[in-house]
Structure 1
Amino acid sequence: MTFRLLGLGLLALALPAWAHNHPTALRLATTDAPPQIDGRLDDSAWLRAPAHDRFVQYLPADRQPARWRTSVQVLVTADALVFGIRAWDPQPERIRAPLARRDQVKADQDFVSVFIDAVGHRRTAQYVRVSAAGAVEDGLYAAEEASEDAAPDFDVQAAVQRLPDGYSVELRWPLAALRYPHADGAPWRVMVARSIPREERTLNLSAPLTKDALHFIAELQPLEGLDDLVEQVRERGFFALRPELTLRSTRDTDADGTTRRARKASLGAEFKWRPRADWVIDATLNPDFSQVELDAPQLAGNTRFALSVPEKRPFFLESADVVGPTQPDESGENRSLAAFYTRAITDPDWGLRATWRGAGAEATALHLRDAGGGPVLRAGAFATRVGTQPRDSEASFARGRRQFGPIGLAGLLSRRDFGHGLGTQVVGSDGVWRAGDSDQWRGHLLLSSTTLGVDDAGDVQRVDRQRGHRAWLGWRHLDADWFANVNVEEISPRFANDNGFVNQSGVRRASAFGYLRLGERELAGLAMHESELQLTVQQTQTVADPLLRVAGGQVVDRLFRPGFWFAAARNTGVWGHVGLDSLRAKSGGRLHDTRTLMLGFESNPGELLSFLMAEVEWGRRLDVDADRVGTGLQAQFEAKLRTPLPAGWWLEFEQRLGLGWVDGPSGQRAFTDRSAQTLVVLHLSARDSLRVIHQQTRFTRRADVSAELAAEDGTDRQLALMFQHRIGLSRIFSLGLNRASERPGLARHSELFAKLTLGY
């Protein structure tokens, strides 16, 4: 404690002089030659640009000076910000620089990252990571959820040069890729981070951020030297066109052996127009998503609730922060998806979207036509009924938000029209109040109206108009000693949103997750950089639902989970909890007491085995379909390997496994749920790669007369093989083969495709 107080005192003495030393940009004259983006930092402009090198350590322990020297310089050209970052390293041979896919620059690699908040309010920030090999990850950081979303891509250009004493990075960030208001905006803010993976992963920052901050962009610093740049470029328009040509040959075989073959050529396009700084117009026509990576399989055999998957399609990712938050909070609930869940849009024929961003307000609206065929959800307290979407629907969504100092208020409208009198409308409001540096309140109220129902057989039908609501209020607190996230919500029985994700309704829920910080500790000779005692509590009860014959006041789940977490060397995290839960599988059924022990860990062991994760929960688990408890297990495992090959190639291998089972009364296995995904990427160069994905899910159940359950054995297999040549976002050529099969029935699908995308 004495040494920590001494360190804080020394840092406090240094802060007054350092706090005003912000990154400063150099404006290049129109006659100056812009730098070549080659990573070398040897252009004449870099000799004149001021360097900012006052970095501090954030990980593994904050409030300490950085041990590795890093400097950042910024140039302003006529159409871009250019960052020059120099990363010195006393052991350059230990720099981890594997070739990696876009958006896969993680903690196992040496990288630098740049966060830019061009609105200046530190509510959201765009970020770009550049690894020491030149790989790029980009996305949005949202302060309200304290989370990153790597799905959005920006048309940036980056290059890296390895040096005898480290490496240097040049990052060109076009002004067209930044989002900022037309007038009255605050100064642009930036932060540069550098990650060094060694025995102890170190993260150094150009801003004086500590772990007490409510989110990662709380201390972004003003970027000085821009002067009247925003005023000069705010009227400048940008236009981008991305036509795409797809050639496809398909073969489908039904369970009865009938085979259908088809060949198709389709031409699509995406348009982006920014008439001035605060407006962005997006349009898509006949988009094709055959090159999008497969969703990772999930264990779904022992749940009656639908599972959500992340968005990866470009059209839906523009200014995703204006649409609303999309990341789950610490309690594991993804409440924001109730308002708008883009994966509810299955196969759009065309779409149009407009986004406006002002200094204190923002808004977006979109309308599209969907070919349909995906799932439509109708939820209850104990299960989600799933039907098939009628084809050729139209979807509309709009949200506007206004900031009043620390309070932000938003309103939204959502509409889905399937024709023939089938449709759903949602109107609502959401808000956030930042009550100081340590506390945040959030909530929403959504009202729905629908004439579309799904019966027990999964058939879509027209019903008399049904109305429902969803109300949620959450409090989040973080300080130097403890963290708390408390939520209360009510979802009425008939709440529905066919542009959102609603997998449970007819419930009232109160939940809380919190932890107490214990700081640095030593356990059995192992140095723990951080340690926490955690507690999760939750209770969900039914609201009376006469239509589904559900009585009110039944406990659906009651969770009590004391646990722990600590971090150690090699970016290792270890966590666990004791589950003293009570769960009910069906209305009127027994409230079962389950007792489980969960242990998990993740680590970046080394350059070859770059990531390892395992989580196992064992004990008395609920068999949902049989409505009884038995000894069981649920586990997931993930490993990532990267290794260099001759000719400068890199091989990337990822393996994910999932396993779940519960024993029956006789001690024999009642059911087994398995999932597996193998991903192999051969990086031929920074632009060329060959990717193979094979994944399988299988659920088997033993016949049980007493529980009136028949034997089951269902398997779903998918194989995707794709070669891709990629130059940023402007030129992408993909050639691939997809195969899928499912059993029982032995239905099979195969597809060969070639796709060319050009950006102008």
Structure 2
Amino acid sequence: MRFLLLSLLSLSTACAQASSTVHPQALRLSENSAPLRIDGQLDEAHWQRAPVYDRFVQFQPEDKKPAAWRTTVQILVTQDALVFGIRAYDPAPDLIRAPLKRRDTVARDQDFISVVLDPIGLRRSAQFARVSAAGVIGDGMFTAADDGEDFAPDFELEAAAQRLPDGYSIELRWPLASLRYPYSGGLPWRLMVVRNIPRQEANTLNVSAPLTKDALSFIAELQPIEGLSDLVEQVRERSFLSVRPELTLRRREDQAEGRPDSRKRESNLGGELKWRPRADWVIDAVLNPDFSQVELDAPQLSGNTRFALSLPEKRPFFLESADVVGQTKADEEGQNRSLAAFYSRAITDPDWGLRSTWRGASADATLLSLRDAGGGQVLRPHAYGTDSFVQPRDSQASFARGRMQIDALNLGLLASDRRYGHGQYNRVGGSDFSWAASDVDLLRGHLLLSSTRSQLDPDTPDLRPGSENGHHLWLGWRRRTEQWNTLFNLEDVSPRFANDNGFVSQSGYRRGTLKLSRRFNEESLAPLGEWSRFPTYELEAELRLAETRSVQDALHGVPGGELIERRVQPGFWIATARNTGIWGHLGLDQQRAKTGGRLHEPRTLTLGFESNPHPILAFITAEMEWGRRLDVDADRLGRGGNVWLLAKLRVPMPTGLGLEVEQQWSEGYVHGAQPGRSFTDNFRQTLAVLHWSPRDSLRLIAQATHFQRREELGLAADASHTRHTSLMYQHRVGLSRVLSLGLTRFNDSPGGRRSTELFAKAQVAWQP
């Protein structure tokens, strides 16, 4: 009997292993195969024949553990798309969180499946698509060098979800036209499927690849997809063309104190074109686009800083192959390194634009040029602030970047040119690199050289016979092991460096930064469980050090070697239940507000947290800083604080409806020498979206800013207020058909400016 039981057990184990492939494997369908319905059902005969992959492991909250709940992946290859069929088994299906949401808001508070796909095979960048259990899509690009994801790019995807008695299933159709891969010589396509399971006791992230937290990036362990064989050779010659005309109608009324009212009606006809003549080339063109209905930027506190603030890009023309351009989000130290080379928000109102992108097996390149109607700002930074000037009208903005990979080394060259006419220009050229020196070490850097000849301020002629030259040098090292995470950066930026196609808020300085993080393992964390009611999944002790000194700048009267800022910030970070992170640090810093001014020693305590606490309160994060803070304009210390809060709620609604509400609020202040606050700077934004179908929604955004400073210490009293309200109905069918109807109102004081606008906008994609 014992022998029989052992034999049956061995047979059962062998059968289970036979039902799962070692790597994800695709099934090729013939041209005569019946078309697939993307409905989330997985009931067609093709799915019964497709190989099954189910070797998932846990990545969060604790890695190196097998996944507790089964997830299966199947892949079909049609003539024009990859189709993924994924089953997510769940022993408690009633607890699945599947709200209706906006595109790109599929987050860790929801049950979702993510497909991370690298059709180049180098694990340098990857396209990803998240599909929630409600069928909502979130997509974007992941870049290994920054170890960060960007939800701004959108791809033409089709997805559907189906709730089941034992979980849910997903079907995702990813057209080959939306993938970017080389014409020849490419490596096998690579894949990782991610499953997120939010529960009260823990938020679990399972992955289909052997990924651990020691990896340099989230895409370090993508696995090859078997069964594709000669797919690239068969489809690489196919041409794809998409034309997206748009029509905007608006009626606007403007009022201002001391000026007559203005009323006008406008119509704007424009469009975008995307042409992929073959696999490795993509041509983008835009003519007279209207970006005014892009979602409002969240306001930022700017009343206690002299440096400009960057904003994320949301306009689709600039998001094609964002990894090739190199425009990414801020790194872990909050510095926009790559934005120094290119920042698309510097292009304000393009009349037309043209862009070409090429991808090879070990190299890629992009070139773009746009005619900008102006209306924005041009930045001229220095060591203690950013001067801002009105952007000259009708400038030509051009940018090119190419890079190649030699084993673990990536080398890039870039050139940027901004021409304003009348002999005025800004030119930048340079090189960048990244080198994975080992499995735990990554080196990065760039050197940019600028040449500028401009006259931006009519009251201060700065147009000189010759050009002003400058440089921007940055070197960075990141090392990640099981116990230590180290970041080290060196920067040298000359006083006259400027990039009008990039974002540079400070120049004329040399800076060194070091961040050390000691990671504690499970054995070290065990004693914490004895006094805490919540489990501790991760604990890091941190130390941040930074020193910034000036470079001599005769124009602004700044001597060389002056200490601008020194940071000494010991801190911690804890990960616990419900996807909760808690962090904090002491600020034992030194700061100088202006050249020759006093070197102040602010002392602050910063605490923050983020969590997915409840199905209704889906996400909340807050950060609070208080202590002795520097009042930059008054050049003195005072008791003060800075508080920021973001809460996302899902309000229970009848079946078929969804209501999401986001509330964001921030306030900063410093007390003066006299009782009371010297200044107060705050903003608030409320965003509410009512969904009554996956295609139809009504969105309300109401935001306000307020800044007030009292008169003291030679500073004049100052106050400003703005209110902005937007109400918009939108009908959206993927990216191909979008209809928007809306009303916006704006109030600003001082000046008493008020504007009201009614608009209608239609976009329809045509694919011949």
Normalised TM-score (structure 2)? 0.95
How far has the Cα of 1:643 moved from its partner? 2.0
Question: Which residue is equivalent to 2:759?
Answer: 753
How far has the Cα of 1:212 moved from its partner? 0.6
8 Å Cα contact 2:20-2:51 kept in structure 1: no
The question of 1:166 aligning with 2:174 is answered no
Partner SS, residue 505 of structure 1 = coil
Could you tell me how far apart the structure 1 residues matched to 2:20 and 2:174 are?
26
Alignment of 1:537-548 (within 5 A): 537-548=545-556
Question: Which residue is equivalent to 2:244?
Answer: 242
How far has the Cα of 1:741 moved from its partner? 1.6
Could you tell me how far apart the structure 1 residues matched to 2:90 and 2:759 are?
45
The question of 1:571 aligning with 2:574 is answered no
* Cα-to-partner distance string for 1:125-160 (whole Å, 9 max, x where unaligned): 000000001110000000000000000000000000
* Cα-to-partner distance string for 1:464-506 (whole Å, 9 max, x where unaligned): 4211000000001101011011000111000001000011000
Partner SS, residue 454 of structure 2 = strand
The question of 1:654 aligning with 2:662 is answered yes
The question of 1:195 aligning with 2:196 is answered yes
RMSD: 1.6
Question: Which residue is equivalent to 1:363?
Answer: 365
Question: Which residue is equivalent to 2:98?
Answer: 97
8 Å Cα contact 2:21-2:52 kept in structure 1: no
Question: Which residue is equivalent to 1:378?
Answer: 380
The question of 1:536 aligning with 2:541 is answered no
The question of 1:723 aligning with 2:725 is answered no
Q: Which amino acid aligns with 2:219?
A: I
Q: Which amino acid aligns with 1:418?
A: Y
Alignment of 1:574-585 (within 5 A): 574-585=582-593
Match for residue 712 of structure 1 among 710, 718, 721: 718
Question: Which residue is equivalent to 1:57?
Answer: 58
How far has the Cα of 1:257 moved from its partner? 3.7
Could you tell me how far apart the structure 1 residues matched to 2:600 and 2:257 are?
40
Question: Which residue is equivalent to 1:110?
Answer: 111
8 Å Cα contact 2:27-2:76 kept in structure 1: yes
Could you tell me how far apart the structure 2 residues matched to 1:736 and 1:388 are?
29
* Cα-to-partner distance string for 1:545-587 (whole Å, 9 max, x where unaligned): 0011111111111000000000111100000000000000001
How far has the Cα of 1:606 moved from its partner? 1.1
Distance 1:76 1:18, change over 3 A: closer
Could you tell me how far apart the structure 2 residues matched to 1:623 and 1:454 are?
29
Q: Which amino acid aligns with 2:63?
A: D
Question: Which residue is equivalent to 2:26?
Answer: 25
Partner SS, residue 453 of structure 2 = strand
Question: Which residue is equivalent to 1:122?
Answer: 123
Could you tell me how far apart the structure 2 residues matched to 1:372 and 1:156 are?
34
How far has the Cα of 1:330 moved from its partner? 1.2
Partner SS, residue 729 of structure 1 = coil
Partner SS, residue 249 of structure 1 = strand
Question: Which residue is equivalent to 1:4?
Answer: none
Question: Which residue is equivalent to 2:295?
Answer: 293
Question: Which residue is equivalent to 1:147?
Answer: 148
Question: Which residue is equivalent to 1:5?
Answer: none
Match for residue 452 of structure 2 among 450, 453, 456: 450
How far has the Cα of 1:18 moved from its partner? 12
The question of 1:599 aligning with 2:607 is answered yes
Could you tell me how far apart the structure 1 residues matched to 2:458 and 2:152 are?
35
8 Å Cα contact 2:327-2:342 kept in structure 1: no
Question: Which residue is equivalent to 1:736?
Answer: 742
The question of 1:636 aligning with 2:637 is answered no
Distance 1:119 1:460, change over 3 A: farther
Question: Which residue is equivalent to 1:430?
Answer: 432
Partner SS, residue 258 of structure 1 = strand
How far has the Cα of 1:461 moved from its partner? 5.6
Could you tell me how far apart the structure 2 residues matched to 1:461 and 1:720 are?
41
Could you tell me how far apart the structure 2 residues matched to 1:20 and 1:411 are?
42
Question: Which residue is equivalent to 1:269?
Answer: 271
Could you tell me how far apart the structure 2 residues matched to 1:19 and 1:573 are?
35
Q: Which amino acid aligns with 2:700?
A: V
Partner SS, residue 50 of structure 1 = coil
Question: Which residue is equivalent to 2:44?
Answer: 43
Could you tell me how far apart the structure 1 residues matched to 2:18 and 2:75 are?
21
Partner SS, residue 463 of structure 2 = strand
Normalised TM-score (structure 1)? 0.96
Alignment size in residue pairs: 744
Distance 1:649 1:463, change over 3 A: farther
Distance 1:759 1:735, change over 3 A: same
Q: Which amino acid aligns with 2:98?
A: A
Question: Which residue is equivalent to 2:469?
Answer: 467
Could you tell me how far apart the structure 2 residues matched to 1:251 and 1:371 are?
22
- Percent of residue pairs identical: 60
Kindly report structure 1 stretches of 4+ aligned residues shifted beyond 6 Å.
Answer: 16-20
Could you tell me how far apart the structure 1 residues matched to 2:501 and 2:642 are?
32
How far has the Cα of 1:224 moved from its partner? 0.4
Question: Which residue is equivalent to 1:693?
Answer: 701
8 Å Cα contact 2:20-2:53 kept in structure 1: no
Q: Which amino acid aligns with 1:264?
A: E
Could you tell me how far apart the structure 2 residues matched to 1:338 and 1:570 are?
37
How far has the Cα of 1:290 moved from its partner? 2.3
Question: Which residue is equivalent to 2:390?
Answer: 388
Could you tell me how far apart the structure 1 residues matched to 2:329 and 2:458 are?
31
8 Å Cα contact 2:91-2:167 kept in structure 1: yes
Q: Which amino acid aligns with 1:606?
A: H
8 Å Cα contact 1:378-1:453 kept in structure 2: no
Question: Which residue is equivalent to 2:10?
Answer: none
8 Å Cα contact 1:387-1:460 kept in structure 2: no
Gaps of 5+ in 2: 1-12
Partner SS, residue 443 of structure 2 = strand
8 Å Cα contact 1:18-1:54 kept in structure 2: no
Question: Which residue is equivalent to 1:80?
Answer: 81
Question: Which residue is equivalent to 2:229?
Answer: 227
Partner SS, residue 368 of structure 1 = strand
How far has the Cα of 1:647 moved from its partner? 5.0
